[in-house]
Amino acid sequence: MIDFRYHLVSIIAVFLALAVGIVLGTTALNGPVLDSLRGNIDRLSSDKRALEGDVQDLRGDVRTADDFATSVGPGLVAGTLDDERVLLVVSPGTPSDLVDRLTPLLVAAGAEVTGQLRVLPALSDPASRQLVEDLVADVLPAGVDLPDGEPVERAAAELAAALGRQPGEDGIDGGEAQAVLSAFQEADLIQYTGESEELRRATAVVVLGAPAVEDPEEQELVEQAAVLSLAGAFDDTTGGVVVAGPSGSVDDDGLVRLLRDDSGLAGRVSSVDNADRGVGLVALVQALAEQMSGRVGQYGTGAGAAGALPSAGPAS
């Protein structure tokens, strides 16, 4: 009869054999596995350094191209907007340096910048709906026909009539136009800053937007729609409109993307999706000149762009 000590010794022997096997196997494999891991780490580190170098080189190329476009831009656009008056419409979130860089280029093109119209969130806020509707009716200039639709759309048409005019035409009475601006400003719906004491109505308009934000709130989308309503309204009252934004404005829910997705509006209003770059600013001014000749185009580097710059021929 086999006693308990025999079973115990047998079990110990089995576990001892397993332990010895594991140790021997690990020792045999440890060297190759570690060598392979070290090799992979070295390769990944080398690839990372190479990619970082590529990124630095690309950033340098972009800066060089940007500096070049900025330096030659005034010469490229000189005379393209002679005797035109340009209004800048600034939407919420627009980078301030975009306005600062664009203004001297418009002047170099021969244009007079009449002022800035800053759209405030209250204009499109549902809580202000009745206020906007009443205000539009109270200061409606004689002879101005407003579209049927939401109060913000009617307000956009009224503001466009007050601040814009077709080239060669006088537009509405100056006193009535000033009354519209004063009423909208006192209600904190807009801010208007003119470049002269006298109200100078624009023959062309640039609408500037912000980069797209991830997961925008509903009110932000409503604000974007209000800005596009203004772009469409100014297209009816002036000689041309360009909607422009920095890189990222053509991403989902960005102002330029929303314009390009609206086939009706994109068929009338031009756009530039990289206005934070020197070449984008040149494209913006050239696109505005193209608008004044009755042509439309979408420019930049993002989805829906026909090219970086307007061509000499008709825009697509």
The per-residue pLDDT for 55 is 47
Q: What amino acid occupies position 104? A: P
Q: How high is the mean pLDDT in each 10-residue block of the chain (316 residues)?
A: 63 70 60 68 70 52 54 86 96 89 96 96 94 95 91 96 90 91 96 90 96 88 94 96 95 94 96 95 97 96 94 51
pLDDT at 93: 86
78-299: CATH topology = Rossmann fold (3.40.50)
d(CA 261, CA 192): 29
H, E, C per residue of the chain: CCCHHHHHHHHHHHHHHHHHHHHHHHHHHHHHHHHHHHHHHHHHHHHHHHHHHHHHHHHHHHHHHHHHHHHHHHHHHCCCCCCCEEEEEECCCCCHHHHHHHHHHHHHCCCEEEEEEEECHHHCCHHHHHHHHHHHHHCCCCCCCCCCCCHHHHHHHHHHHHHECCCCCCCCCHHHHHHHHHHHHHCCCEEEEECCCCCCCECEEEEECCCCCCCCCHHHHHHHHHHHHHHHHHHHHCCCEEEECCCCCCCCCCHHHHHHHCHHHHCCCEEECCCCCHHHHHHHHHHHHHHHCCCCCEECCCCCCCECCCCCCCCC
- Partners of residue 191 on adjacent β-strands: 118
What ranges do the domains of the chain cover?
1-77, 78-299
Distance CA 212, CA 82 (A): 33
Phi–psi pair at 62, nearest 5 degrees: -65, -45
